[in-house]
Structure 1
Amino acid sequence: MKKRHLAATVAAALVMLGLSVPSAQAATVKCNDSQSKRVALPNKSDLDLDVSLCVFRTSDDKTYATVQISWSAATLTGMVGRKFDGFTVNARLEYRFSSGGNDYINKSHTCDYTASANDMWAATATCKTATTPWDGDLYWSADGQVQWDIDGDGKSWQDPWQLTGSPLLS
């Protein structure tokens, strides 16, 4: 039996017993442990990245995903100059039909933090997808990636850092 049908059956049973149906679901969130990576920058301090992914269900039955990224200089020396020609974070809201099933992308949003990363040697930013209506029959998660093009390294965009998704929210 699908989760939605089970909930409707329980609600009907409560009404028949003269009990009230619980109010709307409170906001919930599932986040993963922080993921870290050091980016080697030529002729300047390396940059340490820390990332956390979260999937949210709001009190008004919407869901969305975030990727929160923090960066900081690895050393106090060499904190000069432009770091990136490009620095982006992609947040994806994904769903599955079962807890062990395949992920499907519902919403995706890419945030360009090139200017911020070049201006600041330490900062935190959050990339957020648009919201979508909550579907209690699905298993929701946050996923994403970080990608950069290092200034002055003679290369273009590096392969994306594929992040480990959040735990499932159902």
Structure 2
Amino acid sequence: MPIKIIFLDRDGVINAEVGYLFKIQNFKFIDGVFEACVNFLQLGYKIIIVSNQSGISRGYYTESDYQKLTQWMLTQFNKNGVGILDTFHCPHSIEADCNCRKPKPGMFNEAATRYNIDLEKSWMIGDKETDITAANLAGVSKTILVRSGHKIEEPKSKAMFFLNSIHESENIIKH
């Protein structure tokens, strides 16, 4: 039976935007992220994180640095009652022209194949238009852009909703 997912971008949605974040001491969860995620789980959604991580290909940090930070982050989610189904990341730079880097849908497609996801019933919460584009290309039309990361040109955006934080998503995602 297909499952429904809340896809989350990491930087700017889960944690405060920090350029090329890879150190645990620089990771700051956005207020309300745990409460929002508990709500998603209670509504029957599973959570998958999809994140561009070009800092790896640029040499700012290693794949191992990324994995260490990710494991720490997942532990914090677990301590707050939130199990994350999976995380997907693109380690490539924009110049690589890979299929996994958002705005391309590769991470969504891989997740959908691996977990039998009902993309029409799923949501994407991001902080950049590339998050919305990738989700739409994969078949996820329910989208939210949060204003806690990058500047958003709302009149030009394809997002369905604009919120100040992921915490406000409880007013939008109700079933």
Normalised by the length of structure 2, the TM-score is 0.25
Which is bigger in relative contact order (C-alpha 8 A, separation at least 6)? 2
Normalised by the length of structure 1, the TM-score is 0.25
Larger relative strand fraction: 1
Larger relative helix fraction: 2
